[in-house]
């Protein structure tokens, strides 16, 4: 039996509450399917930043390199600016390990209410470009503090970066309902987005068996609310994919159930698995965060590590727990705690 080495980074806020539940369910899956999972815990977080001036040690990325996967909660806490916490940990991990494909599945679960009147058929995957686009440190500020102060931020869209994320989306669509929707904004953003559209058309031509359409991001958000069932795979830039994945999770019922995989498809480096949501300081410390996003991120990790059967068993355990309203956390309209729901899912396994 191969033992998979997993780096565990709970991070901040509810990350520290949902990661233990994620591990509890992974352990239950490991027992049932005879998997070897060896965890190493890292306390890298905003707390670490306040003590040391760094989110992670200078050699942090080198230490992560040897792992088979990274299991992360969330980072960010009031008192440390959000760009410091994200750019000090999460974004360097995604970039150094070329985790360019961010995969964010969203679907309806029986027993969980959507805020929509008609969410029928909602079952989609947002594919977010994860290492370039709008999230770039190219730019700067001038004349700070004066009347004439200004800020400039450049977006970066490379042929290599755009083509590979588009191909990832089309490849995935071939395993699903064979439909890819592109999120664009080529009416307003006149250089990068027409380029994105051009590459989308070029890559689509390589996949004649997959049907395509594209929408400007503004109306696409409206379609997510009004007709979510029409989408299969939705591919977008770093920013658009980020926005669509929170929106998609919300229309499915709560952001507390949405998992995410940051994949290095070439498997040259470890991939990272984390919920879509952040550290939720507004509910942190109360023990009421929904652990399902973290638990399903664990399922995506097992799938990536070659244990699709264990991943599906976790999804089934989540479904069976959601069928019992007494196990719903407050974001789902219930009164259960993080640990009660986590334990029930582990038990169902
Ligand atoms: P958030 O996702 O942390 O919270 C948004 C809202 O959703 C809050 O009302 C929160 O209580 C609720 N929520 C989130 N996850 C939940 C769960 N599992 N169960 C129940 N309710 C849940 O986003 P926000 O407030 O914009 O950011 C808070 C902090 O997290 C910031 O510092 C931000 O930079 C950071 N962040 C970190 C991310 C990461 O580590 N990947 C991603 C997004 C935000
Ligand atoms: Mg986000």
Reported pTM: 0.96
- Mean pLDDT across 168-177: 98
Backbone angles phi, psi at 129, to 5 degrees: -65, 135
Catalytic residue among 143, 209, 268, 282: 143
Judged against a pLDDT cut of 90, whether residue 1 lies above it is answered with: no
Q: Which two tokens stand for residue 125?
A: 């995957």
Q: Residues 225-250: pLDDT tens digits?
A: 999 999 999 999 999 999 999 999 99
Which of 117, 3, 159 lies closest to 67 in space, CA to CA?
3
Instruction: Look at the block and give the residue holding tokens 């503004």.
Output: 218
3-state secondary structure 209-274: CCEEEEEEHHHHHHHHHHCHHHCCEEEECHHHHHHHHHHHHHHHCCHHHCEEEEECCCCCCCEEEE
Q: Which residue has a Cα nearest atom 27 of ligand 1?
A: 278
The side-by-side arrangement of strands in the sheet containing 179-184 is 36-41, 3-11, 69-74, 271-275, 259-263, 101-107, 123-129, 233-236, 179-184, 211-216
pLDDT digits (tens, 9 = 90+) for 190-226: 999 999 999 999 999 999 999 999 999 999 999 999 9
Q: Residue 153: pLDDT band by 50, 70, 90 thresholds?
A: very high
pLDDT confidence band for 312 (50 / 70 / 90): very high
Per-residue pLDDT reduced to its tens digit, 64-123: 999 999 999 999 999 999 999 999 999 999 999 999 999 999 999 989 999 999 899 999
Domains of the chain are: 1-99+258-349 (3.40.718.10), 114-252 (3.40.718.10)
What was the pLDDT predicted at 34? 96
Burial label for 139, CB within 10 Å (0-12, 13-18, 19+), is: exposed
Q: Distance from the CA of 305 to the center of ligand 2, in angstroms?
A: 24
CA of 315 to the centre of ligand 1 (A): 22
For residue 41, is pLDDT > 90? yes
Q: What is the DSSP letter of 90?
A: I
The pLDDT-based confidence of 2 (bands split at 50, 70, 90) is confident
Q: Residues 8-30: pLDDT tens digits?
A: 999 999 999 999 999 999 999 99
Q: Is the CB of 292 under 6 A from ligand 1?
A: no
Whether 2 sits among the annotated catalytic residues: the reply is no
- The confidence score (pLDDT) of residue 317 equals 98
Q: Does residue 50 surpass a pLDDT of 90?
A: yes
CB 68 near ligand 1, within 6 Å: no
CA of 138 to the centre of ligand 1 (A): 26
What residue owns the CA closest to ligand 1's atom 17? 256
Ligand nearest to the CA of 76: 1
- The residues with which 152 forms a beta bridge, in sequence order, are 140
> What three-state secondary structure class fits 102?
strand
Alpha helices by DSSP H, listed for 53-188, are 60-64, 82-85, 91-96, 159-174
Q: Does any ligand 1 atom lie closer than 6 A to the CB of residue 89?
A: no
How far is the C-alpha of 26 from the C-alpha of 39, rounded, in Å? 11
The confidence score (pLDDT) of residue 5 equals 98
Q: Which pLDDT value is given to residue 331?
A: 97
ipTM for the predicted complex = 0.98
Distance CA 317, CA 293 (A): 13
* CA 322 – CA 344 distance, rounded (Å): 10
Mean pLDDT, to the nearest integer, of 303-315? 98
pLDDT for res 58: 94
Q: Where are the beta strands (DSSP E) in the chain?
A: 3-11, 36-41, 69-74, 101-107, 123-129, 139-142, 150-153, 179-184, 211-216, 233-236, 259-263, 271-275
Q: What is the mean pLDDT of the chain?
A: 97
SS3 for 62?
A: helix
Closest by CA position to 260, among listed 304, 216, 224 = 304
């Amino acid at each position: 039996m191969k033992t998979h080495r997993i780096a565990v980074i709970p991070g901040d806020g509810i990350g520290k509450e949902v990661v233990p539940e994620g591990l509890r369910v992974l352990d239950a899956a490991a027992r049932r399917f005879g998997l070897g999972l060896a965890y190493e815990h890292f306390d890298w977080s905003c707390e670490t930043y306040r003590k040391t001036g760094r989110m992670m040690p200078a050699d942090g990325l080198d230490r992560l390199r040897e792992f088979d996967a990274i299991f992360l909660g969330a980072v960010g806490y009031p008192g440390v600016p959000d760009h410091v916490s994200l750019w000090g940990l999460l974004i360097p991990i995604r970039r150094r390990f070329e985790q360019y494909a961010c995969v964010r599945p969203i679907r309806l679960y029986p027993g969980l209410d959507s805020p929509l009147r008609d969410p029928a058929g909602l079952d989609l995957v947002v594919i977010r470009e994860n290492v370039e686009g709008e999230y770039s440190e190219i730019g700067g500020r001038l004349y700070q503090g004066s009347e004439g102060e200004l800020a400039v931020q450049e977006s970066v869209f490379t042929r290599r970066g755009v083509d590979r994320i588009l191909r990832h989306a089309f490849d995935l669509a071939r395993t699903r309902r064979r439909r890819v929707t592109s999120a664009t904004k080529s009416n307003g953003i006149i250089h990068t987005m027409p380029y994105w559209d051009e590459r989308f058309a070029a890559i689509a031509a390589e996949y004649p068996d997959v049907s395509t359409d594209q929408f400007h991001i503004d109306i696409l958000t409206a379609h997510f609310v009004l007709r979510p069932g029409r989408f299969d795979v939705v591919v977008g830039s770093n920013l658009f994919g980020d926005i669509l994945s929170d929106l998609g999770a919300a229309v499915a019922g709560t952001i507390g159930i949405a998992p995410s995989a940051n994949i290095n498809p070439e498997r040259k480096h470890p991939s990272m698995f984390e919920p879509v949501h952040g550290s939720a300081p507004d509910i942190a410390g109360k023990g009421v965060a929904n652990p399902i996003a973290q638990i399903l991120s664990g399922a995506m990790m097992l799938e990536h590590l070659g244990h699709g059967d264990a991943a599906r068993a976790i999804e089934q355990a989540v479904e069976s727990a959601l069928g019992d309203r007494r196990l719903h956390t407050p974001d789902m309209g219930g009164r259960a705690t993080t640990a009660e729901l986590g334990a029930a899912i582990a038990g169902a396994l």
